[in-house]
Amino acid sequence: MRARAGGIRSSICRWATGGTALVSGVGLASCVVAVGAIAGGGTAEAGPVPAVTCGTLVVPVGSTNYQFSEFTTGPASRTNTDSQGSVAYGGTFTGNFSVAQNSLGWPKAQLTYFEGGNVGVNPTASQVNMQSGSAAIAGSISSGSHVYTNSGGTATTGSTLPFSFSTVGSALVSCANSYGSNATTTAGTATVPQTGALNLTATGSTNVFTITADQLAAAQNLYLGFPAGSTNLIDVVGSGDHLTSLSLSGINSINIGVGCSLASQGSCSQPSPGDNSSTAGKLRDNTVWNFAPAVGFSTGYSLTFGSWNGQIVAPGSAVTLNSGAVNGSVFAASLTGAGQTNDDPFGGTIPSSADPIPQTPEGLPVLMGGAALLGFGGVVLRRRRQLHAR
């Protein structure tokens, strides 16, 4: 298991339902969302419940801090694809899927697959291939379905899971709704240099952007020009033509680098999957695309992605990964599709606002030729890593 050494310094977060915000320290706060026992839950929701660290997307499970490659509160249907890291599905799994495909050196007993429902639905057979670690399954493996432990681990059915999907999911909703700017973050700038291109440019250590779903859907190529070592939060808000669904499969490339833009493509790159050490790789890992329920991406919203760079936080949405690969983690209500997820976890600290994310006025212009859309200010936080399981 590869380790990221260092402490955690998480941003201020708010816990609105079923928990308490725990704030400690002087100046910048270390904040976790403490989740209590679930009310009226079944066997899948039993057991000790961990906290969720909003600023780092970490779910502590016992003594292990997980940065899941895929996390859903509901079902997952994954077809002939794989995840390089660990996954957790709150509902029944269907499909043919490989877990922990990346060789991270996990011990056999390390849980890398958490299942809150069943594996497979009769009469259709499903298959999970455990390439590393073990599986904890709250339900059963349906007739004709299989969980193969290829590295010598175990697959235990009828398990009491070590956390509650519903409370962790509710905590993630609260975190997503709170992500935003503070008094001292740096304003990110969004410009449209030509039709189909979107430049996102920043100058600070922690930068916050707000763009609408319409504006993102209109882009075919994204150019992310961020300072080395920075953390970048992109808050996407629902807007007129995309009130119930948003497909981003038409985005051909997400380019990233120090000074990257349409006009400076020599400064851009698309870091390789698993590149968590180069300047561009770290910028990719520490870019968060936030689709918060409070600004339109609530229960039943449909989000579709092709190939993507960065972390996807959409805890209220039904997410489809059409094809290609997501170089980052996916947090969703449900997950379908044949797209792969690679082991490129977040390593910064996501800024949070004292107030909910503001709704961007409908029709707010993104001007041609380099004019700014808008940006926000917030807390400048240093980038930290910690020992974690992925």
Comparing 48 with 327, the larger pLDDT belongs to 327
381, part of any domain:
no
Whether 114 and 160 share a structural domain? yes
Residue bearing tokens 């509901």: 74
Residues forming beta bridges with residue 212, ordered by sequence position: 237
Residue 168, H or E segment: helix 165-178
So what's the pLDDT on residue 83?
96
So what's the pLDDT on residue 210?
96
Whole-angstrom distance, CA of residue 372 vs CA of residue 192: 9
Q: Highest mean pLDDT range out of 32-46, 103-117, 327-341?
A: 327-341
Whether 118 and 193 share a structural domain? no
- The 10s digit of each residue's pLDDT in 120-163 is 999 889 999 999 999 999 999 999 999 999 999 999 999 999 99
Whether 347 and 241 share a structural domain? yes
382, part of any domain:
no
- The 10s digit of each residue's pLDDT in 53-92 is 899 999 998 888 999 999 999 999 999 999 999 999 999 9
For residues 92-96, average pLDDT: 97
Whether 270 and 168 share a structural domain? no
- The 10s digit of each residue's pLDDT in 275-303 is 999 999 999 999 999 999 999 999 999 99
Residues forming beta bridges with residue 136, ordered by sequence position: 114, 156
Whole-angstrom distance, CA of residue 207 vs CA of residue 235: 11
What secondary structure does DSSP assign to 173-234, as a single string?
A: HHHHHHBS--TTPEEPEEEBSSTTEEEEE--SSEEEEEEEHHHHHT-SEEEEE--TT-EEEE
Whether 284 and 141 share a structural domain? no
293, part of any domain:
yes
So what's the pLDDT on residue 45?
44
Residue 280, H or E segment: helix 279-285
Residue bearing tokens 């899927």: 97
Residues forming beta bridges with residue 59, ordered by sequence position: 66
For residues 190-199, average pLDDT: 97
Whether 211 and 298 share a structural domain? yes
- List the Cα angle 332/207/306 in 5-degree steps: 35
73, part of any domain:
yes
Across the chain, what does the average pLDDT equal?
82
Whole-angstrom distance, CA of residue 202 vs CA of residue 183: 16
Residue type, 375: G
Comparing 323 with 1, the larger pLDDT belongs to 323
262, part of any domain:
yes
Tell me if residue 368 falls in helix, strand or coil: strand
12, part of any domain:
no
Where is average pLDDT lowest: 25-29, 78-82, 98-102, 214-218?
A: 25-29
Burial class (CB in 10 A: 0-12, 13-18, 19+), 143: exposed
Whether 160 and 233 share a structural domain? no
Whether 269 and 146 share a structural domain? no
Q: Give the whole-number percent of the chain exceeding pLDDT 90.
A: 70
So what's the pLDDT on residue 82?
96
Assess whether pLDDT exceeds 80 at residue 306.
yes
Instruction: Please state the domain count of the chain.
Output: 2
Whether 91 and 230 share a structural domain? no
Whole-angstrom distance, CA of residue 303 vs CA of residue 285: 20
Q: Which domain-ending residue is among 172, 196, 211? A: 172
342, part of any domain:
yes
Structural domain containing residue 152: 19-172
Whole-angstrom distance, CA of residue 141 vs CA of residue 325: 28
Whether 154 and 277 share a structural domain? no
For residues 106-114, average pLDDT: 92
Whether 108 and 255 share a structural domain? no
Cα dist from 132 to 35, 104, 113, 207, 230, whole Å: 29, 8, 9, 36, 32
What secondary structure does DSSP assign to 339-357, as a single string?
A: -EEES----S---B-SSPP
Cα dist from 133 to 73, 99, 148, whole Å: 22, 9, 11
So what's the pLDDT on residue 105?
72
Q: Give the whole-number percent of the chain exceeding pLDDT 70.
A: 77
Residue 233 and residue 288 in contact, taking contact as beta carbons nearer than 8 Å: yes
So what's the pLDDT on residue 280?
98
Whether 116 and 214 share a structural domain? no
Burial class (CB in 10 A: 0-12, 13-18, 19+), 178: buried
Encoded tokens for 305:
């992605």
Instruction: Give the confidence band of 103 by pLDDT, cuts at 50, 70, 90.
Output: low
The b/e string for 307-324 (b: 16+ C-beta within 10 A; e otherwise) is: bbbbbbbbbbbbbbbeee
Whole-angstrom distance, CA of residue 248 vs CA of residue 287: 17
Comparing 16 with 144, the larger pLDDT belongs to 144
Comparing 355 with 336, the larger pLDDT belongs to 336
2, part of any domain:
no
